[in-house]
Amino acid sequence: MFDYYDYVNGLNEGKLVTEIEKLHKRLFKTSETSPVYQQLLNMIDMAQSAYTDALYAQRIKKEDTVMDIGETESVAYTPDYTKDEIVNAYIEVYTKKKPGEPPVR
């Protein structure tokens, strides 16, 4: 049995364009009431999908490279939590005391 899906997915871009043109010519010669008309429409859709997939695959091959943008330096800053101001600020936040009152430890 002939599998048209496998056939069109095995063609290159040039042959797919030729196949689509050939199907359109057959479609124009076929009566709209014929059952072959709908089959030709489905075949054209399948061929155009295969053509689109081939174009996307070609584009992905071109764009599928990693761009080296260089290196970045980072400086990690850890504050000194032993200072009394920071400790007092945390105490004020967690004890809900009013700012300016002396800290209670």
What's the confidence (pLDDT) of residue 97? 66
The answer to the question of residue 84 being in a domain is no
Residues 23 and 44: beta-carbon distance below 8 Å? yes
Q: Give the residue with greater pLDDT, 10 vs 2.
A: 10
Residues 103 and 88: beta-carbon distance below 8 Å? yes
Structural domain count, the chain: 1
The answer to the question of residue 103 being in a domain is no
- Give the Cα-Cα-Cα angle 4, 39, 50 (nearest 5 degrees): 40
Give me the mean pLDDT over the 33-59 stretch: 92
Q: What pLDDT digit, counting tens, does each position of 70-97 carry? A: 788 888 877 776 677 777 777 777 777 6
Residue 99 has pLDDT above 70, yes or no: no
Residue 2 has pLDDT above 90, yes or no: no
DSSP 81: T
Cα distances (Å, whole numbers) of residue 58 to 13, 53, 88: 10, 9, 63
User: Whole domain around residue 44: which residue ranges?
Assistant: 4-63
